[in-house]
């Protein structure tokens, strides 16, 4: 019996290592590793690493398909034992930070500080990636090979060659759809061994390992640094490890999966194995599943049927008593299973026999037991999780090649129920090179890092990113953080934020000297000259085209007509409401705009000259329009559109800073419920001002180098798309982002503003926040590529929920994030995420728009008066 040590050997071990316990006391079954195959004296097991599977926001049909594909693959391993081992690898905080730094065009000192704060936060939250290993039993070794391998060191390699075709067969099955596993070689194998021998101990930092073969001596590297022990009838196993710098002690509690009720996956229940991902602490899994042949199952079912019948007869015939109803049920079910084994060739009726263990660990036994209780609780009431004696041998099962501790709690599961555990399910969203924006908050907590330029640069998708959500969903908060972090990376940003809240970002020390906040309403007359806002194309933009000159000429013509459209639309808004829809007036206006020159330096003055001088037009109408336009040129808001040859904007930049925050503070909010004729002048002007401001933001984006990364954030896009030129703008942004490497974040209250522009195909990543309106929820589904009418709509209303009793200010900002990074359907992962900038105090203070009576102006006026907290 292994593991049993004579006192003398133990004393020797203690004497040699003084207080650090040695593992000479424990003999392990694992004797050798070659490639991805582990050997004991008798058996061989090939190990594979499974591809993570997205689970959140899968449709029922899609989820069932995944389960069936997984089951069908495993069913091909009939007669073999499948070992499963689920462990975690700490999120590579340092390599992420390096990737994020290298991904920055011109990282500033501020960005170094941001990265530092994010790294501290990530490290303190103990984020980890899930690794799922499957080991397939390759059968036992012959005694001859076993003996010769002790003499010839090369035998392991030759043996591997001999069983190559058996291995190839298993490799092929494991690479199939639904499993998508790759052989666990080198680093992956070393990680499996390290995590198994030092079960439950904090993960050591792993160097890149080049060797793929370990013999018994080399394996001592893993087993020699740990000592496992347990007291009689102990509730946990004590593991002392000296893998790191200091000796570590962990108490590990092993739980076994007991009887399970009927589950409904994916409709009602979550994948039962992956459920432990929800825990706030890591839980390791080990399972051993024997895939049984139909003949075996049939035989066993017949035997069980006989027992059931005999027992029934004992009650009825021998004693004339009513037998328990369970017997009838069992007889039915046994014959049903037996029948299933004879029909169907897809392997989905295959049965398994297995043992499933979960390990939780903590520095003290009490803590470990408390964690075990939490595990038992999350599985209640559908699955019973048992904690049994024999903890020492149960824990040893987690090490590859160790034998089964005992046959208690054998689970007889149909292969579909095993596959419905979806061990590889995970919550992965975002890339691994971008900035940290938060954590997933649905299935499991994982960090979400996102690079807005991943779409245009890597996936060759669009850089348009809609941020959708109702009032207070946290759209500006999300975008503000992205602007802050990527801005510090050295990316130029142009932000159009009508309310002016994001202007506070310009005052942050990270952007001192490189950012400017401009209120467009306070600019000089003619600052929003429509002609100047459409950028003149440059030949360099078309170098990749087959005929650059031709494309350049066409683009110039398009820009000219764009300017004319913009001017017509703007001037139309300057007319009284009754004239705005008058075809005669519009025709006169359009003619005048067509005749006037439409270069970036042209002005509305040219149009007015054309109206004045053209003899062919209706003079009465023309002079009426001219009078109205003259009036407008003098009024407070509309004078922004009317540049003259001497004043206003003629195509020059409004700001020479890297970061520009345009605001329209003071602009009236439009009341949609009122008829157009009742709109006040300020309300009437709000839409063209907004639309032109957006164009002006767009122009300032085009100013930068064609190949350089650029960012643009347009807030309240639903106001911009209400006018035709605004819609054109959003379309233009959508089509140009990839070519010009622009990340365009557009925030809106309704996804229809983006989908309605028929640009859904261009959308890459997307964020959807809390939405309560039914119609808007359906649009959200379309935007995220989710099916409508299957219950996802309700999910949008449950985002950012806060407790009624909570007095903490600020709601949790939750979004559903689609990263647009390819994958099965090309739309990338979809996950619920929680935006978290809590570790950047200045940023959160700048973005905090929550009303605070303590900050009211009346208090500021009283010098030295500090608001009394007791009085509040």
Nearest distance, CB of residue 388 and other proteins, angstroms:
7
User: Given the rule CB under 8 A, which of 37-45, 196-204, 299-307, 767-775 is the region that contacts other proteins?
Assistant: 299-307
Of 314 and 635, nearer to other proteins (C-beta) is 314
The H or E element containing residue 517 is: strand 515-519
d(CA 724, CA 729): 9
User: Given the rule CB under 8 A, which of 254-262, 510-518, 582-590, 686-694 is the region that contacts other proteins?
Assistant: 254-262
Nearest distance, CB of residue 368 and other proteins, angstroms:
16
List the strands of the sheet with 435-440, edge to edge.
447-450, 435-440, 830-835, 814-818, 766-768, 464-468, 742-748, 710-714, 493-497, 659-663, 515-519
d(CA 338, CA 300): 9
Of 399 and 528, nearer to other proteins (C-beta) is 399
> Beta-carbon neighbour count of residue 618 at 10 Å?
15
Of 417 and 687, nearer to other proteins (C-beta) is 417
- Check residue 13 for interaction with other proteins (CB under 8 A): yes
Nearest distance, CB of residue 324 and other proteins, angstroms:
5
User: Given the rule CB under 8 A, which of 199-207, 273-281, 316-324, 691-699 is the region that contacts other proteins?
Assistant: 316-324
Of 157 and 321, nearer to other proteins (C-beta) is 321
- Check residue 296 for interaction with other proteins (CB under 8 A): no
For residues 413 and 292, the answer to whether their CB atoms sit within 8 Å is: no
For residues 45 and 37, the answer to whether their CB atoms sit within 8 Å is: yes
- Check residue 238 for interaction with other proteins (CB under 8 A): yes
Of 264 and 804, nearer to other proteins (C-beta) is 264
Nearest distance, CB of residue 349 and other proteins, angstroms:
11
Nearest distance, CB of residue 261 and other proteins, angstroms:
9
Tokens 């703008």 locate to 729
For residues 32 and 215, the answer to whether their CB atoms sit within 8 Å is: yes
User: Given the rule CB under 8 A, which of 21-29, 168-176, 673-681, 716-724 is the region that contacts other proteins?
Assistant: 21-29
Say how many residues make up the chain: 872
Enumerate the β-bridge partners of residue 451. Answer: none
Exposure of 64 by Cβ count < 10 A (0-12 exposed, 13-18 middle, 19+ buried)?
A: middle
Of 210 and 262, nearer to other proteins (C-beta) is 262
Torsion angle of C-alpha atoms 55, 59, 63, 69, degrees rounded to 10: -120
Cis peptide preceding 266, ω within 30 of 0: yes
The H or E element containing residue 90 is: strand 81-90
Nearest distance, CB of residue 67 and other proteins, angstroms:
7
User: Given the rule CB under 8 A, which of 6-14, 179-187, 198-206, 637-645 is the region that contacts other proteins?
Assistant: 6-14
Nearest distance, CB of residue 505 and other proteins, angstroms:
50
Of 414 and 576, nearer to other proteins (C-beta) is 414
- Check residue 235 for interaction with other proteins (CB under 8 A): no
For every residue of 817-868, DSSP letters joined together read EE---BSTTSB--EEEEEE--TT-HHHHHHH-----GGG-HHHHHSTT----
Interacting residue with other proteins among 95, 229, 612, 798 (CB under 8 A): 229
Q: What is the CA radius of gyration of the chain?
A: 34
d(CA 561, CA 542): 19
Site string for other proteins, 734-773 (x = CB under 8 A): ----------------------------------------
Interacting residue with other proteins among 97, 308, 585, 778 (CB under 8 A): 308
Q: Tokens for 141, please give them.
A: 């070794």
Q: Tokens for 498, please give them.
A: 């009508």
Of 4 and 345, nearer to other proteins (C-beta) is 4
- Check residue 364 for interaction with other proteins (CB under 8 A): no
Enumerate the β-bridge partners of residue 363. Answer: none
For residues 156 and 34, the answer to whether their CB atoms sit within 8 Å is: yes
According to DSSP, residue 766 is labeled: E
Q: What part of residues 794-833 is at the interface with other proteins (CB under 8 A)?
A: none
For residues 357 and 256, the answer to whether their CB atoms sit within 8 Å is: yes
- Check residue 374 for interaction with other proteins (CB under 8 A): no
- Check residue 598 for interaction with other proteins (CB under 8 A): no
According to DSSP, residue 504 is labeled: G
How big is the site for other proteins, counted in residues (CB under 8 A)?
74
Q: What part of residues 319-338 is at the interface with other proteins (CB under 8 A)?
A: 319, 321, 323-324, 326-327, 329-330, 333-334, 337
For every residue of 715-734, DSSP letters joined together read S-HHHHTTSHHHHHHHHHHH
Q: Is 655 helix (H, G, I), strand (E, B) or coil?
A: coil
Of 351 and 727, nearer to other proteins (C-beta) is 351
Nearest distance, CB of residue 322 and other proteins, angstroms:
12
- Check residue 247 for interaction with other proteins (CB under 8 A): no
Torsion angle of C-alpha atoms 739, 745, 751, 756, degrees rounded to 10: -30
- Check residue 233 for interaction with other proteins (CB under 8 A): yes
- Check residue 342 for interaction with other proteins (CB under 8 A): no
For every residue of 270-324, DSSP letters joined together read PPTTGGGGGSSS--EEEEEEEEEPHHHHHHHHHHHHHHHHHHHHIIIIIH--PPP
Nearest distance, CB of residue 20 and other proteins, angstroms:
10
Of 338 and 431, nearer to other proteins (C-beta) is 338
Of 327 and 670, nearer to other proteins (C-beta) is 327
- Check residue 317 for interaction with other proteins (CB under 8 A): yes
Site string for other proteins, 378-417 (x = CB under 8 A): --------x-xxx-xx-----------xxxxxxxxxx-xx
- Check residue 863 for interaction with other proteins (CB under 8 A): no
Nearest alpha carbon to residue 759 among 767, 751, 771: 751
According to DSSP, residue 386 is labeled: E
- Check residue 311 for interaction with other proteins (CB under 8 A): yes
Q: What part of residues 23-82 is at the interface with other proteins (CB under 8 A)?
A: 25-26, 64, 67
User: Given the rule CB under 8 A, which of 213-221, 228-236, 757-765, 843-851 is the region that contacts other proteins?
Assistant: 228-236
Interacting residue with other proteins among 264, 342, 377, 805 (CB under 8 A): 264
d(CA 774, CA 792): 11
Nearest distance, CB of residue 233 and other proteins, angstroms:
6
Q: What part of residues 414-433 is at the interface with other proteins (CB under 8 A)?
A: 414, 416-417, 420
- Check residue 791 for interaction with other proteins (CB under 8 A): no
User: Given the rule CB under 8 A, which of 4-12, 131-139, 625-633, 695-703 is the region that contacts other proteins?
Assistant: 4-12
> Beta-carbon neighbour count of residue 214 at 10 Å?
22
């Amino acid at each position: 019996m292994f593991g049993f040590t004579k006192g003398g050997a133990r004393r020797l071990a203690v004497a040699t290592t003084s207080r650090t316990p040695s593992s000479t006391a424990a003999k392990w079954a694992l004797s050798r590793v070659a490639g991805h195959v582990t050997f004991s004296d008798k058996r061989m097991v090939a190990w594979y690493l499974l591809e993570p599977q997205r689970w959140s926001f899968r449709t029922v049909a899609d989820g069932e398909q995944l389960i069936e594909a997984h089951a069908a693959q495993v069913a091909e391993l009939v007669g073999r034992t499948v070992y499963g081992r689920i462990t975690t690898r700490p999120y590579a905080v340092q390599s992420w930070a390096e990737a994020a730094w290298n991904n920055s065009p011109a990282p500033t000192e501020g960005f170094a500080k941001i990265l530092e704060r994010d790294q501290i936060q990530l490290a303190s939250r103990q984020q980890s990636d899930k690794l799922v290993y499957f080991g397939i039993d390759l059968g036992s070794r012959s005694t001859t090979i076993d003996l010769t391998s002790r003499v010839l060191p090369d035998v392991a390699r030759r043996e591997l060659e001999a069983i190559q075709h058996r291995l190839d067969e298993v490799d092929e099955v494991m690479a199939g759809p639904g499993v998508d596993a790759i052989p666990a070689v080198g680093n992956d194998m070393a990680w499996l061994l390290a995590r198994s021998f030092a079960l439950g101990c904090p993960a050591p930092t792993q160097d890149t390992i080049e060797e793929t073969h370990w013999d018994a001596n080399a394996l001592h590297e893993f087993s020699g640094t740990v000592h496992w022990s347990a007291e009689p009838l102990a509730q946990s196993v004590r593991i002392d490890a000296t893998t790191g710098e200091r000796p570590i002690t962990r108490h590990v509690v092993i739980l076994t999966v007991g009887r399970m009720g009927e589950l409904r996956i994916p409709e009602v229940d979550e994948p039962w194995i992956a459920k432990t991902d929800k825990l706030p602490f890591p839980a390791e899994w080990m399972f051993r599943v024997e895939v049984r042949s139909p003949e075996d199952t049939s035989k066993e079912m017949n035997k069980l049927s006989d027992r059931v019948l005999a027992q029934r007869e004992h009650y009825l015939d021998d004693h004339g008593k009513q037998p328990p109803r369970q017997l009838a049920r069992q007889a039915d079910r046994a014959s049903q299973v037996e029948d299933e084994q004879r029909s169907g060739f897809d392997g989905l009726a295959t049965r398994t026999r297995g043992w499933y263990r979960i390990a939780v660990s903590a520095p003290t036994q009490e803590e470990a037991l408390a964690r075990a209780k939490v595990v038992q609780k999350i599985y209640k009431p559908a699955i019973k999780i048992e904690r049994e004696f024999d903890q020492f041998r149960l824990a040893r099962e987690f090490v590859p090649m160790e034998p089964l501790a005992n046959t208690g709690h054998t689970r007889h599961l149909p292969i579909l129920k095993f596959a419905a555990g979806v061990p590889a399910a995970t919550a992965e969203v975002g890339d691994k090179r971008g900035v940290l924006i938060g954590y997933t908050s649905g299935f499991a907590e994982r960090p979400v890092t996102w690079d807005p330029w991943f779409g245009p640069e890597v996936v060759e998708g669009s850089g348009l990113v809609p941020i959708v959500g109702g009032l207070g969903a946290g759209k500006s908060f999300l975008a503000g953080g992205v602007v802050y972090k990527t801005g510090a990376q050295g990316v130029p940003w142009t932000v159009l934020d009508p309310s002016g809240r994001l202007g506070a970002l310009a005052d942050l020390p990270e952007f001192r000297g490189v950012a400017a906040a401009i209120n467009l309403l306070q600019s000089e007359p003619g600052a929003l000259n429509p002609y100047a806002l459409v950028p003149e194309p440059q030949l360099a933009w078309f170098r990749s085209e087959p005929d650059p000159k031709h494309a350049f000429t066409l683009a110039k013509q398009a820009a000219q007509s764009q300017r004319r459209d913009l001017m017509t639309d703007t001037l139309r808004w300057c007319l009284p409401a009754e004239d705005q829809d008058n075809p005669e007036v519009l025709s006169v206006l359009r003619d005048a705009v067509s005749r006037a020159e439409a270069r970036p330096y042209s002005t509305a003055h040219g149009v007015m000259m054309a109206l004045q001088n053209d003899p062919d037009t209706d003079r009465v109408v023309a002079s009426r329009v001219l009078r109205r336009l003259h009036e407008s040129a003098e009024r407070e808001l509309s004078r922004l559109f009317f540049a003259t040859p001497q004043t206003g904007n003629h195509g020059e930049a409004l700001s020479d800073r890297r970061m520009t925050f345009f605001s329209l503070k003071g602009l009236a909010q439009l009341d949609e419920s009122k008829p157009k004729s009742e709109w006040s002048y300020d309300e009437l002007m709000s839409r063209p001002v907004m639309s032109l401001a957006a164009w002006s933001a767009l122009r300032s984006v085009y100013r930068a180098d064609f190949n350089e990364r650029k960012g643009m954030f347009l807030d309240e896009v639903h106001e911009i798309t209400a006018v035709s030129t605004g819609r054109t703008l959003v379309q233009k942004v959508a089509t140009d982002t990839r070519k010009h490497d622009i990340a365009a974040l557009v925030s809106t209250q309704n996804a229809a503003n983006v989908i309605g522009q028929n640009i859904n195909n261009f959308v890459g990543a997307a964020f959807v926040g809390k939405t309560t309106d039914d119609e808007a929820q359906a649009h959200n589904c379309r935007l995220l590529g989710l099916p409508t009418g299957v219950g996802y709509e309700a999910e949008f209303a449950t985002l950012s929920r806060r407790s009624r009793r909570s007095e903490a200010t600020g709601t949790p900002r939750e979004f559903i994030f689609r990263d647009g990074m390819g994958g099965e359907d090309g739309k990338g992962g979809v996950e619920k995420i929680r935006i978290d900038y809590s570790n950047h105090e200045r940023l959160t203070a700048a973005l905090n728009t929550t009303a605070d009576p303590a900050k009211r102006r009346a208090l500021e006026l009283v010098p030295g008066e500090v608001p009394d907290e007791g009085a509040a």
